[in-house]
C-alpha cells in the first residue's frame, strides 16, 4: 500500500481520531454530502447503491416470511399522535410540526412521522373485523424525522431512511413469536449479508421503546469499542390495541383485542458497515452489499490489446458478479487508491505482461493480498474469492468482537474497562433501575441488552452487590 | 359473468357515474384506504405491489440509460426555495410549512419538498467543478407534498409517491437530448408495460413547469374521454444554473453554466391504469404490472386429488409467472368475482372432471373469454396467453383513444365535441395565450400538448381565425 498512499490525500487514521476517520470516509468514499438543511444529509449515488442492496435483501427476507409492503401518509395529526400516552411522551419533544399549508393556518397541526405506529393502528382498527382478517403483516419503506441537535451521517440525523414493520395478531403468543422471528431475520441479515456479528437480547425497561411491552435488540461492536444498536423488534401486546380500539371477533363470536408488533432497521446499518469493517485505507465492503464487487484496472492501457482484453474479462465476470471497468485516462495507482477508499472487494489488474502469460492479478480489499490467477477459469477464481472474502470478514469481525468483550464483577472493574479498553462488558445486574442509572452516571455505559444466551459470572449485581440473576451487556453506545 | 354478479355487491357502472365507478374500484380492489390525515391516502398491499412493479421496471430503464439514484432531504429552507423566482411562485401557495421542532420555533421555516429542483441545484453547485464532472444523471424515489383541497386517490392527493430525475449537462444540446430521451423512456414504459398509448408533445408556455424553458409531456385518454398527463420532462436550460450558480470549467478553462433537466412520474400512473383498462367488473391489469398474473381457483376442492393437482400446477406456473393458489374455503363464484375485481389477468379453474381429462380452464380478464387447455403444455399456454393479453390491451386502448380523437375547425365545434363526445380534440392554434385562455373559459378544455407529430387541419386558429401553424391536442383533463 505504501506507493498508493502517496498518491491520495490520506484520511485520518482511526487510532488517531476515530470520529474524524469516520467523517473522512463518508466524504471521500462519496457516500454522503452535507446539505444546508438542518440536521439532514444527502445520500450520494454510491451510498444510496449500498442502501438499495440492503433494501433488496431485507425486502426479500420480509416477503419470504409473509410480509406485504404498504404506504402510510407522512403526516400524523396531533390528536392521533396523542392516543397512546407513553408513545407521545417518547416522541413529541423531537417531532417536526407542520402548522401551515401555503398561507393557510391548519386547524390541527400535523407532525412529520417520527415512526408510524399510530397511523398503522388507525388503519388496522378499520380493516380488522374477524379472526379471518388476522394476522396482518405489513411493512413500509420510508423516511422519518426526529429532530437531533448534533448529527453524524448515517448514525444520527434528523431525517433518516428506514423500514418499519407493523403487524397485528390474534394472540399474545403469536405477537411474541413474530417479535422474535423478525429479530432473527435481522440477525441473520446482519451476519449473512453485512458480515456483522450481533448479540441478540432484550432491552431493559429503561431502554425499551415508548409504548412497548418488550423490546428486543441486536447489538454490534464497532472498531472503537462502542456499541451500535443495529435493529430492534418490539412487542406491544395489546397496549396500542386498547388505545386505538383494534378488536376482532374470535371463533366463538367474542370481541378480543389484537396483539401488535413493530420492528425497524435504518440507514444506520451503513454506519455499522463502515465502523465494523473499515480501515485506514477507507471503506471495506462485504461482497454481498458492495455496489461494485470487482473493479478491473487495466495497466498500460494505451498498449495494444489491453483494453480489448479488459473488456473481454468484464463481459465474462458480469455473468457472476457486479463488475466495473475503469478505463479513465489516469494512472493505475490513483485508481487503486480510489477503489480501496470505496471498499470494492476485489481489484483485477491486467496489463500486457499478464496477457502474454494468460493471467491477471486479483487483489482482495479485506486483507490487501495479491494472487495471480489464470484467465482460463477466471469466473471460478473470482466467485470463490468473493465467497471467501464474505466469510473472512464475518470471522474477523467476530474475532474482534470477542476479543473486546469483557467480564466485570464490580463497578470499578466495569469503569476501568469502559475507560481503558472499550468494548462490550458482561456483568450481572439485580434488575433495579437505580443501579442502571448509577452505572450510566459513573461509567458512561448503558445497558445494551439482556442477552438471550445468559451466563452466570457471579451471584451479585455489579453495582449494588445484591442478588442478581440476569447477565447484561453494557457499553458506551452510538 | 351473469352468475358471478349476483354473488358480489356490484360496483357502480362507469356509464352511470364514472367518478363513483373509480372510487368503488380503488376501495373494492383494496388499492387504497382513506386516512384521517388531510388530503393523504393509505396505499394498501395490493396497490403498493402495483407501484413496486412500476418502480422496478422504470428503475431498470433509468439505470440502463445511465442514471443513478440518490436521496435528498425532505425539507427545503424557505430561502432556498426562493432562489428561482418562477419556481417559488409556482409552488409556494401549496407547500406544507414546518415551523417548529418539538417546542422550539425554527429561525427559518422549512417546507416539505413539493419537488426537489432547489435541493439538487444546491448539491450540484458543490460537486460540479469541471467538464469532467459532467453529466450528472441523478434520480430519486420519494414522496412529495402539494396541498390539495379536493382529492382523489392516485389522481390528486396532498402527498404522493413519485420519482424525480434531475440531470446537469455541459451544453444546451445535451440537456435537450436528455429531456427528449426521458420522455421517450416514459412513452415506451407506458406502452410496453402499462399498455397505455400516449401522445408525445410539448406543453404551451401557459402549461409548462414553473421555472422550465420547455416542458415535454405524454398525454393519455381515459375511458370517460378526459385526458391525463402521464409524465413530464422539463428542460431548464441554464435558468436554475444561473439562480444557483452552477458553473464548470470547460476544456478551454472557461467558466460555463450547466444545462439542466428534470422529469417525473407518479402514483397517478395507477389511476391511469384503472381508467384506461378497467370495466364494470373492476380493475383490469396488464400482465406486466399485475402483482398476481395467474390465480388458480380449484373447483370442488374438497374432492380427492383436486388440491394436490392445483398445487402441482402452481409449482409449474411459478417458473414462468407470478401465480397464486386460492384454496380458501369459499365458493368458487365468490373467488371468480374477487379476482375479477382485482384485475388478475388469468384465472385458472381446475376441478375433478378437468383432472380426469388432463385439462384445465383458462379465463382471460381482458375479454372474459374461456379456453380449455391441456395440462401437458400448460406453461406454454399460460405464457402465450399472458403475452397475448398484454398486446391486446394496448391495441384495445389505442383503438379507443383513436375513436375518441376528433378534429375541430372552430370554437363551436370544439365546444360541441367536449360537451357531447369527450375525447382528444385536435385543432389549429395561433400561439396566443389569449386564445388558449378563451378556449378554456368557453369549453373547459385545456391545451394538452403541441404534439411532435404535427398535422395541418386548416390555416386558421380554432379560436381567433388568425393564421395558425401549430396543431394542438385539447381536452378536459384530470
Q: Cell 399485475, residue?
A: B290
Option in A95, A100, A122 nearest B102 (CB): A95
The per-residue pLDDT for range A298-349, each reduced to its tens digit, is 999 999 999 999 999 999 999 999 999 999 999 999 999 999 999 999 999 9
A43:B71 CB<8 A = yes
B123:A42 CB<8 A = yes
User: Per the structure block, which three cell numbers stand in for A273?
Assistant: 458497515
Mean pLDDT to the nearest integer, A200-205:
97
Mean pLDDT to the nearest integer, A264-276:
98
Average confidence score pLDDT of chain A = 95
Q: Where are the beta strands (DSSP E) in A113-226?
A: 136-145, 159-169, 199-202, 214-221
Q: Which residues pair with B167 in a beta bridge?
A: B137, B261
**How many domains is chain A built from?**
3
Nearest CA in chain A to B93: A102
Say yes or no: A226 and A163 in one domain. Answer: yes
Option in B48, B49, B98 nearest A98 (CB): B98
B45:A100 CB<8 A = no
Q: Where does A304-451 have alpha helices with state H?
A: 306-318, 332-341, 352-356, 378-403, 411-420, 433-443
CA–CA separation, A54 vs A290, rounded Å?
10
CA–CA separation, A209 vs A159, rounded Å?
19
A36:B143 CB<8 A = no
Domain endpoint, select from A330, A362, A390: A390
Q: Enumerate the residues of chain B whose CB falls inside 8 A of the CB of residue A102.
A: 92-95, 147
User: Per the structure block, which three cell numbers stand in for B374?
Assistant: 391441456
Q: Is residue A5 part of a domain?
A: no
- Concatenated DSSP letters for B48-115? HHHHHHHHHHHHHHHHHTT-EE-B--SEEEHHHHTTSHHHHHHHGGGPEEEEEETTEEEEEEEEEPS-
Say yes or no: A165 and A254 in one domain. Answer: yes
CA–CA separation, B438 vs B423, rounded Å?
19
CA–CA separation, B409 vs B411, rounded Å?
7
Mean pLDDT to the nearest integer, A258-275:
98
Q: Is residue A282 part of a domain?
A: no
Q: Where are the beta strands (DSSP E) in A53-118?
A: 68-69, 75-77, 96-101, 104-112
User: Per the structure block, which three cell numbers stand in for B81?
Assistant: 426555495
The per-residue pLDDT for range A124-139, each reduced to its tens digit, is 999 999 999 999 999 9
Q: Give residue A90's pLDDT.
A: 83
8-state DSSP, A477: B
Q: Cell 382498527, residue?
A: A125
CA–CA separation, B93 vs B89, rounded Å?
8
A97:B97 CB<8 A = no
Say yes or no: B305 and B271 in one domain. Answer: no
Q: Enumerate the residues of chain A whose CB falls inside 8 A of the CB of residue B40.
A: 73-75
Q: Enumerate the residues of chain B whose CB falls inside 8 A of the CB of residue A127.
A: 33
Q: Is residue B282 part of a domain?
A: no
How close is the nearest chain A Cα to the Cα of B62, in Å?
13
State the CATH number of the domain containing residue B76.
3.30.930.10
CA–CA separation, B24 vs B275, rounded Å?
12
Option in B77, B96, B143 nearest A98 (CB): B96
Nearest CA in chain A to B110: A37
Q: Cell 374461456, residue?
A: B370
- Count Cα neighbours of B334 within 13 Å in the Cβ-side half-sphere: 6
How close is the nearest chain B Cα to the Cα of A42, in Å?
5
B36:A80 CB<8 A = yes
A415-423 long-range contacts (CB < 8 A, ≥24 apart) are A415/A442, A415/A443, A418/A443, A418/A444, A418/A445, A418/A474, A418/A475, A418/A476, A419/A443, A421/A225, A422/A224, A422/A225, A422/A226, A422/A475, A422/A476, A423/A221, A423/A225, A423/A475
State the CATH number of the domain containing residue B334.
3.40.50.800
Q: Enumerate the residues of chain B whose CB falls inside 8 A of the CB of residue A43.
A: 70-71
Q: Enumerate the residues of chain B whose CB falls inside 8 A of the CB of residue A101.
A: 94-97, 147, 158
Q: Give residue A404's pLDDT.
A: 97
Domain endpoint, select from B275, B303, B326: B275
A96:B92 CB<8 A = no
Q: Is residue A4 part of a domain?
A: no
Option in B48, B106, B147 nearest A69 (CB): B48
Q: Give residue A36's pLDDT.
A: 87
A369-378 long-range contacts (CB < 8 A, ≥24 apart) are A375/A313, A378/A313, A378/A316, A378/A317
**Residue A300, helix vs strand vs coil:** coil
Q: Enumerate the residues of chain A whose CB falls inside 8 A of the CB of residue B119.
A: 35, 37, 42
Q: Enumerate the residues of chain A whose CB falls inside 8 A of the CB of residue B77.
A: 36-38
Mean pLDDT to the nearest integer, A104-124:
96
pTM: 0.96
Helical axes A268-277 vs A18-28, angle rounded to 10°: 110
Q: Which residues pair with A231 in a beta bridge?
A: A218
Which H helix or E strand runs over B3?
Answer: helix B2-7
Q: Give residue B8's pLDDT.
A: 56
Mean pLDDT to the nearest integer, A436-460:
97
Say yes or no: A412 and A367 in one domain. Answer: no
Domain endpoint, select from B347, B366, B390: B390
Say yes or no: B224 and B371 in one domain. Answer: no
Which H helix or E strand runs over A266?
Answer: strand A259-266
Low-confidence ranges of chain B (pLDDT < 50): 1-6
Query: Is the pLDDT score of A3 beyond 50?
Result: no
Q: Is residue A363 part of a domain?
A: yes
The per-residue pLDDT for range B52-108, each reduced to its tens digit, is 999 999 999 999 999 999 999 999 999 999 988 888 888 888 999 999 999 999 999
Say yes or no: A223 and A201 in one domain. Answer: yes
Say yes or no: B380 and B411 in one domain. Answer: no
A93:B72 CB<8 A = no
B101:A98 CB<8 A = no
Say yes or no: A243 and A349 in one domain. Answer: no
B35:A97 CB<8 A = no
**Residue A28, helix vs strand vs coil:** helix
Q: Which of B53, B73, B77, B94 to mutate to test the interface with A (most CBs of A within 10 A)?
A: B73
A38:B122 CB<8 A = no
A78-95 as b/e, with b when 16 or more CB fall inside 10 Å? eebbebbeebbebbbebb
Q: Is residue A397 part of a domain?
A: no
- Which of B470, B468, B464, B424 has the alpha carbon at shortest distance from B446? B424
How close is the nearest chain A Cα to the Cα of B321, in Å?
17
- Count Cα neighbours of A84 within 13 Å in the Cβ-side half-sphere: 26
pLDDT confidence bin for A8, thresholds 50/70/90: low
pLDDT confidence bin for A9, thresholds 50/70/90: low
Option in B45, B51, B147 nearest A102 (CB): B147
Say yes or no: B106 and B186 in one domain. Answer: yes
Give the count of beta carbons closer than 10 Å to the beta carbon of residue A410: 15
CA–CA separation, B241 vs B243, rounded Å?
6
Q: Give residue A444's pLDDT.
A: 95
By residue range, what is the domain housing residue B58? Answer: 16-275
Which ipTM score applies to this complex? Answer: 0.95
Say yes or no: A221 and A256 in one domain. Answer: yes
Q: Enumerate the residues of chain B whose CB falls inside 8 A of the CB of residue A51.
A: 71
Q: Is residue B6 part of a domain?
A: no
A38:B76 CB<8 A = no
Say yes or no: A362 and A421 in one domain. Answer: no
A73:B40 CB<8 A = yes
Say yes or no: B111 and B237 in one domain. Answer: yes
Q: Give residue B2's pLDDT.
A: 42
Q: Is residue A1 part of a domain?
A: no
State the CATH number of the domain containing residue A444.
3.30.110.30
A310, A370 in Cβ contact below 8 A?
no
Amino acid at each position: 500500500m505504501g506507493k498508493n498512499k502517496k498518491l491520495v490525500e490520506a484520511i485520518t487514521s482511526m487510532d488517531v481520531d476515530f470520529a474524524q476517520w469516520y467523517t473522512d470516509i463518508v466524504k471521500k468514499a462519496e457516500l454522503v454530502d452535507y446539505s444546508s438543511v438542518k440536521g439532514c444529509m444527502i445520500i450520494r449515488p454510491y451510498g444510496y447503491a449500498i442502501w438499495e442492496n440492503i433494501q433488496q435483501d431485507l425486502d426479500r427476507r420480509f416477503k419470504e416470511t409473509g410480509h406485504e409492503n404498504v404506504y402510510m401518509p407522512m403526516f400524523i395529526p396531533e390528536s392521533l399522535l396523542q392516543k397512546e400516552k407513553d408513545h407521545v411522551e417518547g416522541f413529541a419533544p423531537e417531532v417536526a410540526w407542520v402548522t401551515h399549508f401555503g398561507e393557510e393556518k391548519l386547524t390541527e397541526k400535523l407532525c412529520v412521522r417520527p415512526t408510524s405506529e399510530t397511523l398503522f393502528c388507525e388503519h388496522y382498527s378499520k380493516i380488522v373485523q374477524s379472526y379471518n382478517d388476522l394476522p396482518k403483516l405489513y411493512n413500509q419503506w420510508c423516511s422519518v424525522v426526529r429532530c437531533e441537535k448534533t448529527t453524524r451521517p448515517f448514525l444520527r440525523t434528523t431525517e433518516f431512511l428506514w423500514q418499519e414493520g407493523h403487524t397485528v395478531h390474534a394472540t399474545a403468543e403469536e405477537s411474541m413469536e413474530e417479535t422474535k422471528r423478525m429479530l432473527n431475520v435481522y440477525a441473520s441479515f446482519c451476519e449473512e449479508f453485512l458480515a456483522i456479528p450481533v448479540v441478540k437480547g432484550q432491552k431493559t425497561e429503561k431502554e425499551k421503546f415508548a409504548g412497548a411491552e418488550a423490546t428486543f435488540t441486536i447489538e454490534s461492536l464497532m472498531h472503537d469499542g462502542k456499541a451500535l444498536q443495529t435493529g430492534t423488534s418490539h412487542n406491544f401486546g395489546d397496549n396500542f390495541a386498547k388505545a386505538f380500539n383494534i378488536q376482532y371477533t374470535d371463533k366463538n363470536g367474542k370481541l378480543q383485542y389484537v396483539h401488535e408488533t413493530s420492528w425497524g432497521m435504518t440507514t444506520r446499518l451503513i454506519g455499522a458497515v463502515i465502523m465494523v469493517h473499515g480501515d485506514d485505507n477507507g471503506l471495506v465492503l462485504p461482497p454481498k452489499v458492495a455496489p461494485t464487487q470487482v473493479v478491473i484496472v487495466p495497466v498500460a492501457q494505451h498498449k495494444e490489446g489491453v483494453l480489448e482484453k479488459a473488456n473481454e474479462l468484464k463481459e465474462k465476470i458480469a455473468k457472476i458478479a457486479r463488475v466495473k471497468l475503469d478505463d479513465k485516462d489516469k494512472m493505475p495507482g490513483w485508481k487503486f487508491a480510489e477503489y480501496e477508499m470505496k471498499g470494492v472487494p476485489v481489484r483485477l489488474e491486467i496489463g500486457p505482461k499478464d496477457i502474454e502469460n494468460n493471467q491477471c492479478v486479483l487483489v482482495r480489499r479485506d486483507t490487501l493480498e495479491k494472487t495471480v490467477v489464470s484467465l482460463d477459469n477466471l469466473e471460478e477464481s473470482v466467485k470463490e474469492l468473493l465467497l471467501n472474502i464474505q466469510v473472512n470478514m464475518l470471522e474477523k469481525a467476530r474475532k474482534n468482537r470477542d476479543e473486546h468483550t469483557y467480564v466485570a464483577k464490580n463497578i470499578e472493574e466495569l469503569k476501568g474497562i469502559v475507560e481503558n479498553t472499550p468494548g462490550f462488558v458482561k456483568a450481572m445486574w439485580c434488575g433495579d433501575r437505580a443501579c442502571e442509572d448509577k452505572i450510566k452516571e459513573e461509567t458512561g455505559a448503558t445497558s445494551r441488552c439482556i442477552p438471550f444466551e445468559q451466563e452466570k459470572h457471579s451471584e451479585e449485581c455489579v453495582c449494588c452487590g445484591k442478588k442478581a440473576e440476569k447477565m447484561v451487556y453494557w457499553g458506551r453506545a452510538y
